[in-house]
Amino acid sequence: MKKIKGNILVVDDEKSMREILEIFLKSEGYTVSVAENGEKAIEAVKKDIFDLIITDMKMPKVSGLELLKNVKQITPCTAVVIITAFGTTESAVEAMKLGAYDYIQKPFQMVDIRLVVKNAIEKQKLQKDVSILKQQLKPPSLENIIGKSQSMQTLFSIISKTAESNASVLIIGESGTGKELVAKAIHSLSPRKDNHFVAINCAAIPEGLLESELFGHMKGAFTGAASNKQGLFEVANEGTLFLDEIGEMPMSLQAKLLRVIEGGTFRRVGGVSDLNVDVRIISATNKNLQDLIELQKFREDLYFRLNVLSVKIPPLRERRDDIPLLVAHFLEKFSGNKKRFSKEAIELLKNYQWKGNVRELENITERMILLCDSEVIDVEHLPDEISSVSKAEKVVVPAGGMDIEMLMENTEKAYLLKALEKTNGVKTEAAKLLNLTFRSLRHKLKKYGIDKKIITD
């Protein structure tokens, strides 16, 4: 597949100069196009996205400065280097003010060109997306994924094996199990680790924008396309693209995704030519894609392409022994180990259902650290839904037997009365407190003959 070191446009009205630069830059491994004047350069800029434009300053009609102004409007992410005649520092300064990356004075040596071009392309690539940079500051590896249970050990060895390969990976796991963490770990252990890891949540982006996010667009391709923009496939070239919540991808885009996975080619929205990229796809889902295929909401051929390697992350409730370790990890993260959980509290955390998995555990740990003043976080500090398990554990079934229906009714009645007392008899408020609908509250009050005593509604 084609490796794009950098896409450069050389603009000069002097043929020999164009040729020298073209030959030299091609020999350096760049993709090079040429334009013989400013007008042709502007046309080219409308059709393709360049990482860098090297332009002569003095050209008939459209000067280098004019071209620079146009480029900044059409494709602001493109770097521009201006070649000026010896001694014309003033216009060089003006070019810099207008946003040129650098200027080179004639006559120049090829080493000068080499350095300026290398720096311009590197800087331009870095600037592409600050969020990508942030993601790369702390590359997660296996050490960041906590878990000693057998199922996590198996997961670690699958991650390591998966990282060696170049095949597409589908990560399957409930919400909050660590799908993104695993995707990042696969990338940072893979030979692509020095290139971008780019993540996109297919569910978070409106259908109409997803295509241009993924594949880029040309200025004017649709209302709101104010300038040319590269898509994430280009940004992730030679790296990894993480497609989160892939089950939410609209059918119309699934065909385009299939095409880029199969052949590495795609087209920007409003673009005229096909582009080639080398991107590894990792996708993730908390839905059952097979079900979506049955419902004709997901293409089966795409499913097979995405699911060459599959990684299943077990839910937290199936690896409860990892909970104390995870808690210790989060205590260190959020309190620098200044606080700890009591043994009893940890036991309760281990027994809880954790529908939101590790994310829920992380959030609760953080909240407890913030809310609890004492050094030891105990059972009473835990949210009711977790500590209520302990109340249930304390119940005793009397040897002589009991009437559970009656007990439940009495308990229900007691809570109804308490809620009404708290809300001064306002039923709507009481219903809210008990997480009941108004109708259901009214029904229960009637059942227990409580409603006659209540005056306010």
Binding footprint of ligand ATP on the chain (CB under 6 A): 145-147, 173, 175-181, 286, 326, 329, 358-359, 362
Question: If contact means CB under 5 to 8 A according to the sort of partner, which of Mg ion, ligand ATP, none does residue 42 touch?
Answer: none
Residue type for position 240: T
| Contacts for 72 with CB less than 8 Å, ≥ 6 apart | 80, 98, 99
Q: In angstroms, what is the minimal distance from the CB of 313 to ligand ATP? A: 7
Number of residues that make up the chain: 457
Question: If contact means CB under 5 to 8 A according to the sort of partner, which of ligand ATP, Mg ion, none does residue 359 touch?
Answer: ligand ATP
Q: Which residue is nearest to ligand ATP (CB)?
A: 178
Nearer to ligand ATP, 120 or 146 (CB): 146
CA atoms of 232 and 216, how far apart (whole Å): 7
Q: In angstroms, what is the minimal distance from the CB of 184 to ligand ATP? A: 8
Tokens at 99, concatenated:
């946003």
Query: Which residues in this chain contact Mg ion in the complex, by CB under 5 A?
Result: 179-180, 244
Question: If contact means CB under 5 to 8 A according to the sort of partner, which of Mg ion, ligand ATP, none does residue 234 touch?
Answer: none
The percent of the chain in helix, strand and coil, each rounded to the nearest 5, is 50, 15, 35
Question: If contact means CB under 5 to 8 A according to the sort of partner, which of ligand ATP, Mg ion, none does residue 362 touch?
Answer: ligand ATP
Q: In angstroms, what is the minimal distance from the CB of 185 to ligand ATP? A: 10
Q: Which residue is nearest to Mg ion (CB)?
A: 180
Nearer to ligand ATP, 204 or 226 (CB): 204
Question: If contact means CB under 5 to 8 A according to the sort of partner, which of ligand ATP, Mg ion, none does residue 444 touch?
Answer: none
Question: If contact means CB under 5 to 8 A according to the sort of partner, which of ligand ATP, Mg ion, none does residue 314 touch?
Answer: none
Q: In angstroms, what is the minimal distance from the CB of 114 to Mg ion? A: 42
Residue type for position 207: E
Q: In angstroms, what is the minimal distance from the CB of 286 to Mg ion? A: 8
CA atoms of 203 and 245, how far apart (whole Å): 6
| Contacts for 161 with CB less than 8 Å, ≥ 6 apart | none
Q: In angstroms, what is the minimal distance from the CB of 368 to Mg ion? A: 23
∠ at Cα 40 (71, 27), nearest 5°?
85
DSSP 381-440: GS-HHHHHHHHHHH----TT---HHHHHHHHHHHHHHHHHHHTTT-HHHHHHHTT--HHH
Q: In angstroms, what is the minimal distance from the CB of 145 to ligand ATP? A: 4
For residues 266 and 259, the answer to whether their CB atoms sit within 8 Å is yes
Q: CA nearest 341: which of 331, 353, 351, 356?
A: 331
Peptide bond into 60 cis (omega under 30): no
Nearer to ligand ATP, 38 or 178 (CB): 178
Nearer to Mg ion, 179 or 444 (CB): 179
Whose tokens are 């036991």? That residue is 347
For residues 251 and 299, the answer to whether their CB atoms sit within 8 Å is yes
Nearer to ligand ATP, 184 or 229 (CB): 184
Question: If contact means CB under 5 to 8 A according to the sort of partner, which of Mg ion, ligand ATP, none does residue 116 touch?
Answer: none
Q: In angstroms, what is the minimal distance from the CB of 321 to ligand ATP? A: 13
Tokens at 391, concatenated:
């109340």
Q: In angstroms, what is the minimal distance from the CB of 169 to ligand ATP? A: 14
Helix (H, G, I), strand (E, B) or coil at 286: coil
| Contacts for 50 with CB less than 8 Å, ≥ 6 apart | 7, 8, 9, 33, 44, 75, 78
Nearer to Mg ion, 200 or 434 (CB): 200
Question: If contact means CB under 5 to 8 A according to the sort of partner, which of Mg ion, ligand ATP, none does residue 173 touch?
Answer: ligand ATP
Q: In angstroms, what is the minimal distance from the CB of 25 to ligand ATP? A: 41
Question: If contact means CB under 5 to 8 A according to the sort of partner, which of ligand ATP, Mg ion, none does residue 369 touch?
Answer: none
Helices (H), 35-189: 38-47, 64-74, 89-97, 110-127, 130-137, 150-164, 179-189
Q: In angstroms, what is the minimal distance from the CB of 187 to ligand ATP? A: 13
Nearer to ligand ATP, 148 or 443 (CB): 148
Residue type for position 281: I
Nearer to ligand ATP, 136 or 175 (CB): 175
Nearer to Mg ion, 56 or 244 (CB): 244
β-partners of residue 198 are 241
Nearer to ligand ATP, 113 or 358 (CB): 358
For residues 32 and 25, the answer to whether their CB atoms sit within 8 Å is yes
Question: If contact means CB under 5 to 8 A according to the sort of partner, which of Mg ion, ligand ATP, none does residue 286 touch?
Answer: ligand ATP
Question: If contact means CB under 5 to 8 A according to the sort of partner, which of ligand ATP, Mg ion, none does residue 181 touch?
Answer: ligand ATP
Nearer to ligand ATP, 218 or 364 (CB): 364
